Structure 1
């Protein structure tokens, strides 16, 4: 749940053109998405998934491309 800040910082330096990001924490997702978008990636798709019906827990699936 800590997110992937270090990995996102490395990705923006790389030639990787597509990133599939799965998150269970909206706050760390937003932090990491800011790093990716500042580095040239754009969100192509964002899908919230209610894996645990009846709870307030959601997973976020995102596709970033540059």
Structure 2
């Protein structure tokens, strides 16, 4: 994803705008994953199985 993103900044987009940064990254991500037929399934599975947070870490006092 990053090589395409960096190349697009030099080629297509001559200036990086923080206002549109989310869109730049979205276009690069979609381009890199355009041939992955399981992209939606993989994304949903990652959302449904997040890493666990141990109780000790959850109840620890803030530093």
TM superposition score normalised by structure 1:
0.26
TM-score, normalized by length of structure 2? Answer: 0.26
Structure with higher helix content: 2
